[in-house]
C-alpha cells in the first residue's frame, strides 16, 4: 500500500459539557491512501461527524482534540500533524489540501453570495488567481460536476438551485483547489435515490481523475457497498470493526455490525415477514449517552452475545485476520 495521505493515531475528542470533559471520540486509528475511499458508518450519535470535524479542527467551541495525532501528507509531500498546527497554518490546509462536503448544502452555502463567487473564493485565496481567472475556474468546476449551463448557474444564488445542484456546487467548492483528501460528511442524506446515485457516480469519476483519497461519512450501508474500499464501523465514539468492505460485509466480526446489516430492508422481505407475522429485524435499545457509557463494552447492554467478561473492561481492537479487526472478545464464536 502506498504511503497514506491521512494517518490518524489515538484520536480522542472531548466536549465540555456541564463542567466536565466528555469523550465523544476515543482512541481512533484510521489511515487513507491516495485514491482510496474509506467509509465511517454507524448510527446517529456514534461519533462519525465529530471525527470528520476533528481532522480539520472545525469543532464547536465546547470541543477540542484532547489526544492523538492527525498526520497529513499535503500535495507538496510535506507531512504535518493537523492536531498541532496553529490557526494560520491550518487555514492554509482547509480548502486547499483538504476539501470538505458538509451534510446539508443549503446551510453550508452562503445565501447572500452567488454560487460562482463562493467557488471562486478559495481559488483566489489559496491559488492566488485574479478575480477574472477564479470566476472562469468556478464556471469550469460547475461544468466538471455536471451542472448544465454553468456560466448562468454561477451567477445564481443557492436558493435558485435544486437540492441536487446545490450538492454538486458544494462538491465543486470542495474540489476547487484540487485537494489531496476529500471529506464527505453524509453528502447524499438529503437527496432522493436518483440524485444520490448520480452524486456517488460523480465522486467516483472525480476521484479516478484526480487520485484523491476520500473519507466518506454515512449511515447507509448501501452507499458503503457502492463507493468504499474499506469501512470503519463506529459505536459510542469508538471504532468497533474495520476491514475491506467485501470482507466485513461477507464475514462481520462484531455483533453491532451484524445488527446493522440485518436491519437493512431487502426487496420483498417486508412482505414475507408480514405474512409470517415476524417484525423487521432491529437492534434493541438505543445508543448510550456518551456522558454515561456503560462499563466495559459499550454495546454490551444491547448485545445478545454479551457475557460477564464483556462488562469487565473495554475490549481492545483485535486482529481477526485478513486485514480485519473487531472490538469483540467473542468474535471467533460469532
Whether residue 96 sits in one domain with residue 31: yes
**How does strand 63-73 pair with strand 79-81?**
antiparallel
Sheet holding 230-235, edge to edge: 98-101, 181-185, 213-218, 37-41, 230-235, 238-244, 324-326, 318-321
277 with 261: CB under 8 angstroms? no
Whether residue 171 sits in one domain with residue 257: no
What domain count does the chain have?
2
- 60: how many CB neighbours lie within 10 A of its CB? 10
What phi and psi, each to the nearest 5 degrees, are found at residue 8?
-90, 130
Q: How far apart are CA 50 and CA 27, in angstroms?
A: 13
Whether residue 57 sits in one domain with residue 191: yes
**How does strand 6-17 pair with strand 20-32?**
antiparallel
Query: Residue 266: inside a domain, yes or no?
Result: yes
Q: How far apart are CA 142 and CA 186, in angstroms?
A: 21
User: In tens digits, what is the pLDDT along the chain, a chain of 334 residues?
Assistant: 678 999 999 999 999 998 999 999 999 999 999 999 999 999 888 999 999 999 999 999 999 999 999 999 998 889 999 999 999 999 999 999 999 998 776 778 999 999 999 999 999 999 999 999 999 999 999 998 889 999 999 999 999 998 888 988 998 999 999 999 999 998 877 677 887 888 888 889 889 988 899 999 998 898 899 999 999 999 999 999 999 999 999 999 999 999 999 887 776 666 666 667 777 778 888 889 898 999 999 999 999 999 999 999 999 999 999 999 999 999 998 8
Whether residue 192 sits in one domain with residue 263: no
The pTM (predicted TM-score) of the whole model is: 0.91
HSE-up of residue 196 (Cα within 13 Å, Cβ side): 16
Task: Output the CA–CA distances (angstroms, integers) from residue 309 to 116, 312, 314, 320, 329, in the order listed.
Answer: 58, 5, 10, 19, 8
Q: Please report the DSSP string for 38-61 in residue order.
A: EEEE-STTSSHHHHHHHHTT---T
Whether residue 295 sits in one domain with residue 205: no
Amino acid at each position: 500500500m502506498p504511503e497514506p495521505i491521512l494517518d490518524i493515531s489515538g484520536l480522542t475528542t472531548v466536549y465540555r459539557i456541564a463542567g466536565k470533559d466528555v469523550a465523544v471520540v476515543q482512541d481512533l486509528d484510521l489511515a487513507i491512501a491516495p485514491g482510496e475511499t474509506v467509509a465511517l458508518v454507524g448510527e446517529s450519535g456514534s461519533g462519525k461527524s465529530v471525527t470528520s470535524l476533528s481532522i480539520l479542527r472545525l469543532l464547536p467551541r465546547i470541543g477540542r482534540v484532547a489526544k492523538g495525532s492527525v498526520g497529513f501528507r499535503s500535495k507538496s509531500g510535506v507531512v504535518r500533524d493537523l492536531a498541532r498546527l496553529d490557526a494560520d497554518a491550518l487555514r492554509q490546509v482547509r480548502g486547499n489540501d483538504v476539501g470538505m462536503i458538509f451534510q446539508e448544502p443549503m446551510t453550508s452555502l452562503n445565501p447572500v453570495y452567488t454560487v460562482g463567487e463562493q467557488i471562486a473564493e478559495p481559488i483566489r485565496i489559496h491559488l492566488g488567481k485574479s478575480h477574472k481567472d477564479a470566476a472562469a475556474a468556478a464556471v469550469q468546476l460547475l461544468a466538471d460536476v455536471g451542472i448544465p449551463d454553468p456560466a448562468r448557474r454561477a451567477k445564481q444564488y443557492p436558493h435558485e438551485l435544486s437540492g441536487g445542484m446545490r450538492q454538486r456546487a458544494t462538491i465543486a467548492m470542495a474540489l476547487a483547489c484540487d485537494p489531496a483528501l476529500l471529506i464527505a460528511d453524509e453528502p447524499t442524506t438529503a437527496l432522493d435515490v436518483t440524485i444520490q446515485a448520480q452524486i456517488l457516480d460523480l465522486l467516483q469519476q472525480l476521484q479516478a481523475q484526480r487520485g484523491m483519497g476520500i473519507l466518506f461519512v454515512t449511515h447507509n450501508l448501501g452507499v458503503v457497498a457502492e463507493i468504499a474500499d474499506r469501512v470503519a464501523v463506529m459505536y459510542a465514539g469508538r471504532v468497533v470493526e474495520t476491514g475491506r468492505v467485501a470482507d466485513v460485509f461477507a464475514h462481520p466480526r462484531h455483533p453491532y455490525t451484524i445488527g446493522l446489516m440485518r436491519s437493512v430492508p431487502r426487496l420483498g422481505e417486508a412482505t414475507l415477514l408480514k405474512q409470517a407475522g415476524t417484525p423487521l429485524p432491529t437492534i434493541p435499545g438505543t445508543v448510550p449517552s456518551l456522558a454515561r457509557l456503560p462499563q466495559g463494552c459499550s454495546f454490551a447492554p444491547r448485545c445478545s452475545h454479551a457475557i460477564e467478561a464483556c462488562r469487565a473492561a473495554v475490549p481492545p481492537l483485535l486482529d481477526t485476520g485478513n486485514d480485519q479487526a473487531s472490538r469483540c472478545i467473542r468474535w471467533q464464536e460469532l
